[in-house]
A and B are shown apart, each in its own frame.
Chain A
Amino acid sequence: MDYHSPASFAEASALAQNATGITRFLAGGTDVLVQLRSELVTPDTLIDIKKINGVHDITRNSDGSWTLGVAATGAEMSEHPELGHDWPGVVEAMDLIGSTQVQGRATLTGNLCNGSPAADSVPAMVAAGVTVTVTGPEGARDVAVENIPTGPGKTSLAKGEVISSVNIPARGENGGDAYLRFIPRTEMDIAVVGVGVNLRLDGDIITEARVSLGAVAPTVLLVEEAARAIIGTTLDDAALDALTAAASAACNPIDDKRGTIAFRTEVAGVLAKRTAKIAYARAKGEQA
């Protein structure tokens, strides 16, 4: 295995483009090293992106949007004094992943590129409308988070492409987001169902919404039907029932020891309702 620590994303991209065999990028390494140690994936080329300037930075831009470096850790996100105020759902989703030790290393970008349908941060990012900047041989482009995973362990990134930043939109007025997941134990487990909701209000009426489901299909889903069920409503009982039905209808889950198809499908509806209530309360400024 060749180890490289390039000084720029252009250099990282070129290294990956010219590499043969299996290439992995190394950020926090909490998935890559587990796969390496268990001999599931032994890369021929390992490209450590942490020596690139700015990869740990969490920056609020002048328009209120956020740019996160690809090696900014869950711990750094949780400790940031402002990020969790704007996007509590995104920060809480990331914070649910693993132990204190894992939080010291794990990153949003790694969680996304690992391609797990159950990745906790991904539904929260999809709901929030997060994009990533992808640097490749042809230059850089921005891609919506929901267009990165293509199946379990698979992404749409081509050879030579590397995610070079995470871009979170400006929070703006009267908005709120939330993420909830179901796991069979109290803490530190993989989501059986995860739901991210992000919405904006005009008075009591929801004017914009995005609803995302995790762990109920081969990829994290952006469920437009579920968003339509609550847009234009005050999140009254009828809207919540419609949301529940739309979330459950979008599910195409696996049956395994942690949750049956029927269980995951029902829980997706219940969690969508609970998550939307939290996001709504946050948009009203009623709940931190």
Chain B
Amino acid sequence: MSKLHVTTTVNGDEVEYLCDPRETLLDCLRDKLNLTGAKEGCGTGDCGACSVTVDGRLVCSCLMLGVEAEGKQIETVEGIADGYVLHPLQKKFIEYAALQCGVCTPGILVAAKSLLEKNPDPTEEEARYWLAGNLCRCTGYDKIIRAVMDTAAELREAS
């Protein structure tokens, strides 16, 4: 079985890899590009720990094949901070202690960033629905939602 050559853009950088057609985008990000921020929680699209955006659309990278990334624009959690300057969401997650074990956090940051780009002024209900595909077994979600809502308010003031 021959491998397939894929050229794609990850966090603004053009990258290439060879993959087996059965490998998911998550496998390719983690094992070929060493971008281990996205996590494999369930591998079946239920937990959201592998969330990335593809051409601006939030998806589970475990539910997409690596070969499907050809020519796409991929954004992962590694692209959220600007060098050592954390994104406002990342700062608020620390301020609110919106994480404990941290396995869900990269996916939730990517999903929350995607929400705020689409809807800068979400209601708490909208934020909870948007993030319903990101499971967290530590926090009970309350601190996460507070951190997201406060970031949204701060970003609105800044703009």
Contact = CB atoms under 8 A, between A and B. Distances in A.
Interface of A: 1-3, 5, 26, 28-30, 33-34, 36-38, 42, 46, 48, 50, 73, 75, 98-102, 104-105, 187-188
A269 to B, nearest CB: 29
Most chain B CB inside 10 Å of its own CB: which residue of A34, A99, A187? A99
Contacts of B35: none
Contacts of B68: 26, 29, 48, 50
B21 A99 contact: no
Given A3-B67, A33-B65, A188-B133, A102 B60 contact: yes
User: Could you tell me the dominant secondary structure of chain B's interface residues?
Assistant: mixed
- Size category of the B interface is 20 to 34
B58 A101 contact: yes
Nearest to A33: B63
- Per CB-CB distance, the 10 closest pairs between chain A and chain B, nearest first, are A99-B133, A3-B21, A104-B57, A101-B60, A104-B59, A101-B133, A34-B44, A33-B63, A37-B43, A104-B58
Most chain B CB inside 10 Å of its own CB: which residue of A30, A42, A75, A104? A104
Contact of B132 (A37, A75, A187): A187
A46 B21 contact: yes
Contacts of B15: none
A101 B48 CA distance: 7
Contacts of A5: 67
Given A101-B111, A102-B60, A102-B63, A187 B129 contact: yes
Contacts of B1: 1
26 contacts: A2-B21, A3-B67, A26-B68, A30-B63, A33-B64, A34-B44, A34-B45, A48-B68, A99-B45, A99-B48, A100-B111, A100-B129, A100-B132, A100-B133, A101-B45, A101-B48, A101-B51, A101-B58, A101-B63, A101-B133, A102-B63, A105-B59, A105-B60, A105-B63, A187-B129, A188-B133
B4 interface: yes
A40 to B, nearest CB: 11
Given A99-B133, A100-B111, A100-B132, A3 B63 contact: no
Interface in B62-83: 62-65, 67-68
B21 A100 contact: no
B43 A100 contact: no
B22 interface: yes
B24 interface: yes
Contacts of A33: 24, 45, 62-65
Most chain B CB inside 10 Å of its own CB: which residue of A2, A5, A101? A101
A226 B58 CA distance: 40
B158 to A, nearest CB: 25
A100 B63 CA distance: 13
Contacts of A37: 24, 43-44, 62
Nearest to B130: A100
A48 B66 CA distance: 12
